[in-house]
Structure 1
Amino acid sequence: MESFDPTLFPPWRKRISTRIVASSVVALLVVLGMIGLTLWLSWRLEGAGAAINDTGSLRMRSYRIAVELASDAPNREERVMQQFEHVFQTLTLLRRGDAQRPLLLPDDAQIRAQLDAVSEYWQEVAYPLARMGLETGDTQAYLASLRELVARADQLVQMIEHDNAGKTTALRLAQGGLAVLAVVGTLAMICLLYLWIIVPVLRLSQGLRRMAAHEFDQRLPVETQDEFGVLAAGFNQMARELQGLYGALEQRVAEKTSQLAAQNHEIASLYEMAAFLNQPGDIEAMCEGFLQRVTRQFGAAGASIRTLDVARQQVSLVASVGLSPALLHAEHCMPANDCHCGEATLGPEVIVIRDVTQTGDASRSLPCAREGFATVAVFRIVSGESVLGSFSLHFHRQRVMSDSSRQLLESLGQLLGVALENRRLAAQARELAVVQERGLVAQGLHDSLAQGLNFLNLQLQLMEDAMRRGDIAEVREILPLLRTGVDESYQDVRELLTNFRSKLEQGDLGAAIEQTVQRFRRQTGLQTALDIQHAAGAPLALEQQLQVLFILQEALSNIRKHAEASHVKVRVENAQDFTLSVEDDGRGYDPQEVADRGEGHVGLHIMRERAARMNATIHLDSAPGQGTRVSLLLPARERLPA
């Protein structure tokens, strides 16, 4: 029996569901048959009862005809004819039957013959005598025929009643059989369900309890090929597999533990390496630290990192550990195709040479083989889709790199590539910031100090001409101008140095603005109002704070040098949007004239550039004789997190 394949579902003829359905259908058909029989017998009994009533009505109507014939009523003939009609209808109805009432004569030849005898006697004897009595008034002959007619009708009723008695007995037997069938069928179904379902389920439950107690040698008998046979065979197969699995469980647990430990070690290595690569420092120190950690983890005797010059297809040695000076000198810079370290950057595959003395190319003697290395493994350094170079591990003995080791080293190469790329991007960002700031410094020098020096140069030329002519009066006129120009240039230099040295701590913008305004008051003596509204806005980022401070300094510098104002008003509001406005009542300027002069106007271009660097908008409103207003707006969507 154990040879039954538990993976195959049993044929439909052998399924428990088939047997249950078939048994239920047979029982249903038998019950329906018994119920149908009782309904049919009841229907026939009801129809026969109606036939007995109608047959009895024949006797009543026969006597009624005799009474009507003997009466002297004026409508005697009409009433007698109605009774004749009723008798004929009753006989016809008894012969044909009525399934809807129901009215049915028993399906018996003798009863049919007796009905024919009653009908024949009525039509041939009783009816003609009644017609004659109606015409002549003599009813004696009809009355004499009534005895025979009634006797025949009584005989018909007795025959129908006798047939009904038999059907009544059959109905009672059918009802009793139906009750017996219900009891026997219920008991049989209980027994079958107990044998087909309950017993196998109890057996399976007992087997499961023993399996839960780690008795894996438990087996169930496969006695049938139905669903429970499939379950028993599957239970036995499961028990065998569990027995085998439990026997080797300790070994598998040890293997899984070892795998998890290796994976945890790899994750820890990646985390440690990522933490080291994210530390600040130069590229050389980072690469040396990377190589020291990799060689220590994988037991390599030496290692190196080379970067790829894509344009010239050359690799350059950046850092190394455990390699001789001769090898470093020989491979300091070489074409990518001249060594495996360069070839790894040109293809997607990892290069692992187990025996560097057997490279397959007799004309190619590897320098690392001459240094005593047996195995070299080279991995790419990548950042995104870009290949930045490669790093190699050198072993004195032949080494087989497992798949997990290769994946870990490839991941380390990706981490190193991201770190190198971040260092390069940071250096480029710093260089770009220096270039931009130098441009702003150059513009500041050009707009302030250069113009003052140009004015002094022009006055010196005029003074030289006056001295050559001996015009002492003109020299005396020029000397105060020179002194004034030198003083203004000196103030410009001090102001530029002060602006360039401005530094801010986080959230220190308000104090820096107050210091700038106070210094402006001391320098100019102008009445300067400061209004700082600290609304619900968060502090600006440090970079944006510096730009705002520089714009304020430049605006105040322009007022000092050009506005000739009496009053200055500075207003700062830090709400969702950050706004700064600097307003004076000086002489103003013509915006069209400034636009025609382009970038030559003092300070305006610098303020616009600084506003653009933090994605803010700046507006300058002025008119000749009506002062100037500088408005800076930093929208909430452009604010950087502080």
Structure 2
Amino acid sequence: MEKSLKPALFASWQNLSTRIVGLLLSFLAVALLVIGSTLLLSWQLEGSAAAINVAGSLRMESYKLAMLAGRVANGSDHAEAVARLRAQVQRIDGTLALLQQGDPQRPLFLPPTSIIRSAYGEVQKEWREALAPQAQAFLATGPAPSGASYAVQQLTERFVQRVDQLVQRIERDSESRTLWLRASQLTLLGLALIGTVSIIYLLFDMIVAPVTRLQGGLERMREQDFSARLPVESNDEFGMLARGFNQMADKLQDSYANLEQRVQTKTSELEHQNRELALLYDSAAFLQQPQSAEAMCKGFLQRISEYFGADGGSVRVLDPNRNNLHMLVHQGMSEQLVESERCLKVGDCLCGEAVVSKLAVIHDLRRHKDSHNLQCHREGFATISIFHIFAQRQYLGFFNLHFRKTTVFTSAQTALLETLGQLLGTAIENQRLQVRERELAISEERNLVAQGLHDSIAQGLNFLNLQVQMLEQSLKQKRFDEVDSIVPALRAGVDESYQDVRELLHNFRTRLQEGTLVSSLETVVDKFRRQSGIAVDFDADSDGAPFPREHQLQLLFIVQEALSNVRKHASASQVRIRLADDQDFTLSIKDNGHGFDVRKLETLGDAHVGINIMRERAQRIDAQLQLKSAAGEGTEVVLHLPRTQRRAA
């Protein structure tokens, strides 16, 4: 326990704060001790002075006692003299008791020395055994004996001598204590001077000197003198600060010594990172351009081959249905190697094996045990790298880089090539999606064309076919009166079919002109007025965000189809078109024709192709199509697109 406590105390004493606090507390303790002794001596001197005054008063009181005893002996005013004598005796008794007990509040007390206590005892003995009994004799009833007054005087003189001895001894003790008081004050003054000088010296040694050395070291550091070191002369805070300064100086000196090399290293790293970023940016920008898959992969392969200094390479895509890997593009490879590896099976050769694990692989062919059987090694390639192409976790294929020298890829280069593989995969997948989207759009348009032909041309041709059959029967039976009625019907049917063909061709050739949706609708409305002769009232309030061009085209087709139905079926003389385009979009086409029963139309299902075409086009833009009509009240087609479904261009 003691062995572990000593090092702890020693360690705590090494702290600068502990040493300063201990030093100040030591000086404070000494100062308090000296000040306390000075106060004690002052207090004792004050009590001794009061004791001298009280003891000196005994001499006067004793003479007064002798005088009163003489009056009592003469018999003048006997009763009064006796009373005053008794009071005087009590006063002297009280004074002696006060000297014996003392009074700390005044203060008043006899010095606690044996000589003074002995002198006081003699005074008290003289009073109690000699003077006081003699004075008590005068207090008895009856005349005092002759010569009693003279005896009191003699005893009083002897008592006063005892008191004088006591006072002299107290005075000598006070003189001694006064000398001690002055010595204490001089000692306190000396301690103040010595303590001040000592504290200044110690503070200078413990604080000022280390701070000055530290400041000098910092000045040398500011002048780039990194050889500056501070002496470690203690284990306190300044010692720790000096060691830390020296460590900092060592590191700065080492840093400045190797600064040029580090700058070159960092510059090289930054250049390498800039080249990587440039490659990523260039590849991403190139892959976003509209082009064929072969051109895209060829440009990609050229860029990474130039960056990594590859002597050859290829890009292969996976056919998941047959597990074949088809070589899409290649460079730096012989025709024999290309023909032998144009189509690989998953698991064949080194490249096919990498597809199974789907991990990037770098093969050193010189260390491969079966390298002599590999065509790529026979052509002089030493390193073959395989990096895979992914698009949203979907495996699409891989690309190779061939090197005639042994090449090792760092982890950063491997990560860069994997990122490039993901960029290529995303571009390939986007291209495939665009092709599928175009195919789907073409298929949908063909479906709409077929529906339009069925709704117009097919029905017209069916009517003409029936009329031709009736004409043939009439001619065979030579009923020429029926022929005269059938021929105008055939001519009207042909005209109707011709108008339908022209209208369909116009609708399918419709393209958005430069301008807004409102201007395109005005063009359609003007053409409808000229062709049909029907009055059209067009009112548009358009403050909303512009639609994508595909949505605008679908809106035009819906309006054209609605107007075509008005021309063919409504027998209307007036059409009113209202467009309200704010947060929501609402388009209304209303005619004053004869109308029809909407419930009966719903029973027809898909038989009425025109309405279904409009509904399909509305669904393409997430709009709602509503049909309102009644017999004799006209028809209204309302297209509504809420703000939650609306997409801006």
TM-score range, shorter chain: 0.7 to 0.9
1:254-293: CA deviation from partner (whole Å, max 9, x where unpaired): 3332332222222222222222222221001111222223
Match of 1:275 in 2: 285
Q: Distance in 1 between the 2:640 and 2:630 partners?
A: 21
Match of 2:368 in 1: 359
2:645 to 633, 638, 642: 638
1:60-116: CA deviation from partner (whole Å, max 9, x where unpaired): 9999xxx9xxxxxxxxxxxxxx99999999999997788899888866677788999
1:544 to 533, 547, 551: 551
Q: Distance in 2 between the 1:51 and 1:459 partners?
A: 163
Structure 1 window deviating more from structure 2 (242-251 vs 570-579): it is 242-251
Match of 1:574 in 2: 581
Q: Distance in 2 between the 1:456 and 1:620 partners?
A: 31
Report if the CA contact (8 A) 1:304-1:318 is conserved: yes
For 1:544, the aligned partner's letter is: H
Q: Is 2:565 aligned against 1:558?
A: yes
For 1:417, the aligned partner's letter is: G
Report if the CA contact (8 A) 2:347-2:354 is conserved: no
TM superposition shift of 1:426: 1.8
1:288 to 298, 306, 319: 298
TM-score by length of 1: 0.79
Q: Distance in 2 between the 1:351 and 1:560 partners?
A: 70
Report if the CA contact (8 A) 1:528-1:568 is conserved: yes
For 2:346, the aligned partner's letter is: A
Q: Is 2:303 aligned against 1:301?
A: no
1:345 partner SS: helix
| Residue correspondence of structure 1 range 75-474 to structure 2 within 5 A | 177-178=187-188, 180-355=190-365, 358-361=367-370, 365-474=373-482
Q: Is 2:511 aligned against 1:503?
A: yes
1:599 to 600, 606, 609: 606
2:578 partner SS: strand
1:451-501: CA deviation from partner (whole Å, max 9, x where unpaired): 333444444444445555544444444444433333333323222222222
TM superposition shift of 1:530: 1.0
Report if the CA contact (8 A) 2:389-2:422 is conserved: yes
Q: Distance in 1 between the 2:280 and 2:368 partners?
A: 32
Q: Distance in 2 between the 1:598 and 1:60 partners?
A: 150
Structure 1 window deviating more from structure 2 (525-534 vs 32-41): it is 32-41
Q: Is 2:535 aligned against 1:527?
A: yes
Report if the CA contact (8 A) 2:513-2:520 is conserved: no
Q: Distance in 2 between the 1:123 and 1:635 partners?
A: 129
Report if the CA contact (8 A) 1:374-1:395 is conserved: yes
Coordinate RMSD, CA, aligned: 4.7
Q: Distance in 2 between the 1:154 and 1:481 partners?
A: 174
Match of 2:83 in 1: none
1:515-561: CA deviation from partner (whole Å, max 9, x where unpaired): 011112122222211112233x3322222222222222222222222
1:346 partner SS: helix
For 2:509, the aligned partner's letter is: R
Report if the CA contact (8 A) 2:389-2:399 is conserved: yes
Q: Distance in 2 between the 1:60 and 1:353 partners?
A: 131
TM-score by length of 2: 0.78
Q: Distance in 2 between the 1:87 and 1:606 partners?
A: 143
TM superposition shift of 1:303: 1.3
Match of 2:84 in 1: none
Q: Is 2:490 aligned against 1:482?
A: yes
Q: Distance in 1 between the 2:300 and 2:343 partners?
A: 21
**Closer/same/farther in 2, CA of residues 60 and 414 from structure 1, 3 Å limit:** farther
1:574-614: CA deviation from partner (whole Å, max 9, x where unpaired): 32333222222223333322333333334333233222222
Q: Distance in 1 between the 2:473 and 2:98 partners?
A: 160
TM superposition shift of 1:42: 7.1
1:636 partner SS: coil
Report if the CA contact (8 A) 2:570-2:594 is conserved: yes
Q: Is 2:621 aligned against 1:614?
A: yes
Q: Distance in 2 between the 1:120 and 1:482 partners?
A: 175
TM superposition shift of 1:434: 2.1
For 2:572, the aligned partner's letter is: A
1:412-432: CA deviation from partner (whole Å, max 9, x where unpaired): 322222221221222222222
Report if the CA contact (8 A) 2:584-2:642 is conserved: yes
For 1:450, the aligned partner's letter is: A
Q: Distance in 2 between the 1:151 and 1:465 partners?
A: 188
2:523 to 504, 507, 515: 515
Q: Distance in 2 between the 1:465 and 1:137 partners?
A: 199
Q: Is 2:594 aligned against 1:587?
A: yes
For 2:599, the aligned partner's letter is: Q
For 1:574, the aligned partner's letter is: D
Q: Distance in 2 between the 1:277 and 1:539 partners?
A: 30
Match of 2:27 in 1: 27
TM superposition shift of 1:340: 1.8
Equivalenced residues, count? 622
Report if the CA contact (8 A) 2:214-2:230 is conserved: yes
TM superposition shift of 1:510: 1.6
Structure 1 window deviating more from structure 2 (162-171 vs 119-128): it is 119-128
2:356 partner SS: coil
2:290 partner SS: coil
**Closer/same/farther in 2, CA of residues 40 and 613 from structure 1, 3 Å limit:** farther
1:126-149: CA deviation from partner (whole Å, max 9, x where unpaired): 9999999999999x99x9999999
For 1:359, the aligned partner's letter is: H
TM superposition shift of 1:372: 3.5
Structure 1 window deviating more from structure 2 (387-396 vs 588-597): it is 588-597
Report if the CA contact (8 A) 1:16-1:196 is conserved: yes
**Closer/same/farther in 2, CA of residues 172 and 568 from structure 1, 3 Å limit:** farther
1:256 partner SS: helix
Structure 1 window deviating more from structure 2 (208-217 vs 41-50): it is 41-50
Structure 1 window deviating more from structure 2 (299-308 vs 609-618): it is 609-618
TM superposition shift of 1:172: 6.8
2:600 partner SS: helix
For 2:26, the aligned partner's letter is: V
Match of 1:491 in 2: 499
Q: Distance in 2 between the 1:213 and 1:171 partners?
A: 60
For 1:224, the aligned partner's letter is: S
For 2:506, the aligned partner's letter is: T
**Closer/same/farther in 2, CA of residues 322 and 171 from structure 1, 3 Å limit:** same
Structure 1 window deviating more from structure 2 (148-157 vs 207-216): it is 148-157
Q: Distance in 2 between the 1:281 and 1:127 partners?
A: 144
Q: Distance in 1 between the 2:356 and 2:639 partners?
A: 52
Report if the CA contact (8 A) 2:279-2:303 is conserved: no
1:376-410: CA deviation from partner (whole Å, max 9, x where unpaired): 22221222322211111223344344444434333
Report if the CA contact (8 A) 2:584-2:641 is conserved: yes
Q: Distance in 1 between the 2:210 and 2:244 partners?
A: 13
Structure 1 window deviating more from structure 2 (54-63 vs 601-610): it is 54-63
Match of 2:71 in 1: none
